[in-house]
Amino acid sequence: MKRNNSYRYPKTIREMIDGRRHYEIDGKEKLPSVTTILSATQSAEKRESLAAWRGRVGEDEATRIVDRSAARGTAMHLILEKYILEQGYLDLTNVGKQAHNMALQVIQKGLCNITEFYGTECTLYYPGLYAGQTDLIANHKNEMAVVDFKQSNKPKKREWIEDYCLQLAAYGMAHDFVYRTAITKGIIMMCTPDNFYQEFIIAGEEYRKYKHKWLERVNEYYESKRLPASAG
């Protein structure tokens, strides 16, 4: 795939503020990350479900599963980034070998539909509101799209990935605002450790719905910050 250098993506510094990830944009404003906002506005039901899972498997096992998944996901992302940039990369660790096989599925079944890309590991921001990093901005079947790569321990149903869809909407809105584009599609390219590939395309009315939902979460986040702390 060829590179299109139409957009200059900002230089950023990640830092933790009050235990939450923020991005400093071009040495200027510091904005909460997309994942920080999603985490802070998570529903009580989702928090309870996660707590229940940790209770079932035990804290030590839960931490092991999360850490192993994170390492595998990081390795897969790096392999895909190097592939897109046409840079050689080899990771011979057990995690690296597994991640390579997963990345190969994404390349053969997902990236084969990318004709050109504008940036990989791009930091995007909506001035005054939020920032985040998406894996790829590219033309997918001749339509500009936001693409995120995900590893998953098991196959996912569409109704389980709302936060992923909200991330895509957030990145697309930020790109549109700063660069005056009109992105109407987001794509999740996902693979499991046993090399089962899934692709979720969010477009049309569904994409517009997630943009509205994302704005509601952003508003909820900033409203909660304006409220006085309750007495302990």
Q: pLDDT tens across 169-189, in order?
A: 999 999 999 999 999 999 999
pLDDT of residue 230: 37
Q: Is residue 151 a contact partner of residue 108, using CB atoms and an 8 Å limit? A: no
Cα dihedral: 61, 63, 68, 71 (round 10)? 180
Q: How far apart are CA 31 and CA 121, in angstroms?
A: 18
Helix axes 204-226, 162-179, angle to 10 degrees: 90
227 — pLDDT class (breaks 50, 70, 90): low
Q: How far apart are CA 59 and CA 68, in angstroms?
A: 14
| Closest CA relative to residue 122, chosen from 170, 165, 70 | 170
**Both structure tokens of 219:** 């508003």
Q: pLDDT tens across 136-167, in order?
A: 999 999 899 999 999 999 999 999 999 999 99
Q: How far apart are CA 122 and CA 17, in angstroms?
A: 21
Q: Which domains does the chain have, with CATH numbers?
A: 24-225 (3.90.320)
pTM: 0.90
Half-sphere exposure of 226 (CA within 13 A, CB side): 6
Q: pLDDT tens across 71-88, in order?
A: 898 999 999 999 999 997
Q: Residue 48 CA to chain centroid, in angstroms?
A: 23
Query: For the chain, give me the number of helices (H) and strands (E)?
Result: 6, 9
Q: How far apart are CA 21 and CA 24, in angstroms?
A: 10
Buried/exposed 99-117: b ≥16 CB within 10 Å, e otherwise: bbebbbbbbeebbebbeeb
- SS3 of the chain: helix, strand, coil, percent, to 5: 45, 30, 25
- What residues does 21 pair with on adjacent strands? 16
Q: pLDDT tens across 7-62, in order?
A: 999 988 899 998 899 999 988 889 999 999 999 998 777 777 777 877 887 888 77
**Both structure tokens of 123:** 């930091």
What lies within 8 Å, CB to CB, of 158 at 6+ separation is 200
- Quick check: 229 pLDDT over 60? no
The alpha helices in the chain, defined as continuous H runs, are: 34-40, 44-57, 59-84, 94-109, 162-179, 204-226
- Quick check: 232 pLDDT over 80? no
